[in-house]
Amino acid sequence: MVINDSNYEEIVAQGKPVVLDFWATWCGPCKKIGPSIEALAEQYKEQVNIGKVNIEDDAEDLVAEFGIRNVPTVLFLKGGEVVDKVVGAATKDVFEEKIKALL
């Protein structure tokens, strides 16, 4: 799922926990974690909205709102509030543990 400034509020309004993967096309570590994030998005699609936020494409408001300074940054939100985050590359197991904590 692609998340940007125009659809973020609608996604949060669905009431599910949200995972935001802030990334950029030029970012090597972003490309490294991409397949893990995509696999988890499929695995948890009924319980959690997991999406990618391209910092270079219609996401200026989200980048500013969440104070994103480095990519990759993965935020874990519950009730619209950030409850956890991972800055930099991590393993699929780390992301999955944090997703389970949201449920």
Q: Average pLDDT in the 99-103 region?
A: 96
Q: How confident is the model over 3-38, as pLDDT tens digits?
A: 999 999 999 999 999 999 999 999 999 999 999 999
Q: Are 18 and 77 in contact (CB under 8 A)?
A: yes
Closest to 19 in 3D by CA, of 67, 91, 86? 86
Active site residue 20: no
Kindly state the percentage of the chain with pLDDT values over 70.
100
When the pLDDT of each residue in the chain is averaged and rounded to a whole number, the result is 96
Per-domain boundaries in the chain: 8-82
- CATH for 8-82, options being 3.40.30.10, 3.30.70.420, 3.30.390.50, 2.70.50.60: 3.40.30.10
Q: What is residue 13's predicted lDDT score, i.e. its pLDDT?
A: 94
Q: How does pLDDT run across 63-73, given as a tens digit for each residue?
A: 999 999 999 99
Omega into 17 within 30° of 0, i.e. cis? no
Q: What is the DSSP string of 57-75?
A: SS-HHHHHHTT--SSSEEE
**What pLDDT score does 5 carry?**
96
Catalytic annotation on 43?
Answer: no
Which of 18, 30, 53, 59 is flagged as catalytic? Answer: 30
Give the pLDDT mean for 58-62: 94
The active-site residue, picked from 1, 11, 12, 27, is 27
